[in-house]
Structures are given as C-alpha cells and as structure tokens.
Structure 1
Amino acid sequence: MLAQYIRASRQTLVRVARQRSAFVSRRTFIIPTAVRQADLVQDMYLRELKSYKPPQVKASDAEGHVQKFAIPNAPASPEEGDIASELKAYESQQVELEGTSTEGTTARVEEDWFEEEPEDEAPTTH
C-alpha cells in the first residue's frame, strides 16, 4: 500500500510540474497598442530651445559692473621719523657688563635659589 501511495504522489507531482511548465511557456509579452500621442507643450519647448541663440558678448558689456584695479599706496612705517635720533641714543649708551655696577656701589650679591641642603647620612646597619 505504501508503494501505491508513493507512485500516486509521484504522478501527482509530475502532473503539477507539467501544468506549471505549460503555464510558464504559454506566457507572452503584451505589447501596448496605444499610439504615442504628441505632447504639444514639450514639442514647443524643444523647438524654442533649439532655436535659441545666446547674445554675443562684447568687451564693453562689463563697463558699469567691473571696477578698474589700482595698486594701493604702500603704508608709511611708523618708525621712519625717529630712526636717526634713536640711533644716536643707542650709540651714546654706556655698555653694561655683568658683575660691575654703573653707580660705583658694591656689586649685588647673588642668591642661589636652587641650593640643595646636605642630606643626613643614615646609619647603615649590617
């Protein structure tokens, strides 16, 4: 009985497969039969675009829209007026040397800010 059931199910599957393949092979591509109607607005627009000619550019067209370039004047240096007097003051300065005083007083004692304190030797135990 099991063999009959398997044979019957095979036959059913084969029949279904044939029907599906027959269905697929019967499909055809449907071509629309409507004729393309002319779009009047699009045709007018394309015609105008094709007939458009841009105006010729002249050299004098930019006259009122572009300014003439002029190199700006160089700024005056603020130090130019006193250079001679500052140079004389610099030349007449007295040279300061380290360790000497200009007033004749004793030299300043320098303090050592990074002075390390001696470390106490810790007694070593053996």
Structure 2
Amino acid sequence: MFSQSVMRASRQSLARVARQQNTTLRRTFAVSAIAKADLVQDMYLKELKAYKAPPVKASDAEGHVLKFNLPKAPPSPEEADIASELKAYESQVPEVEGQSGETGEAPAEQDWFEEPVEEEEGHAAH
C-alpha cells in the first residue's frame, strides 16, 4: 500500500511539474524579427521614392516619329468616258452559238469522245 501511495504522489507531483513547464515553455511572438526590415529592400524603396523622371519635351520625338501626310485622293472617273463606253457596249452584237452572221455552212460538229483510229500500216511494217 505504501508503494501505491508513493506512486500516486509521484504522479501528482510529476503532473504539476509538467504543467508548470508547459506554461513556461510556450512559444512567444517575436516582435524583434518583424521590426528588423531588410536593408536592401529599404534602400531600394528609398531610391524609388527619390527618383524623378526627366521632363518630357515636345522635341524629344522628332527623330523617332514620322510626320503624318494624308494620302492623295483617287482620281474621279470622267462622266463622258463612261457614257461613251456604255454606248459602245450597247451597240455590240452578241454572239450566239448556232447563229453566225455569215450565211453558209454550219461548222462541222466534233465528237470529243471518239478515239482516233490508229493506222495499221505502221504495225505491219515491224
């Protein structure tokens, strides 16, 4: 029995010690790490804020930009030429197949699907 009571007492004391250490071993938020900023970043931002762009002059673009010139207007067609061309077109006689202006024989019809006859004399000589 005595050993059981010693074990209980040791467990209780061990639990108390663990609770005390738990509270002291907690992580704390380190403000000092955030307060320290990157020196290179600070210098870069300082230089960016201090930079002033040179003023833009109207003469800066002279060598780089071409001047705009309007293209020439297309020549307008002459009304007299159109009228004379229209009269010449209307005076033309249309050509219709089968009707020719000449009286005479009709052109011989060709049969395009007929194969030419080969001469048999050329084959006999060989």
TM range, smaller chain: 0.3 to 0.5
How high is the TM-score relative to the length of structure 2?
A: 0.40
How high is the TM-score relative to the length of structure 1?
A: 0.40
Q: Larger helix proportion, structure 1 or 2?
A: 2
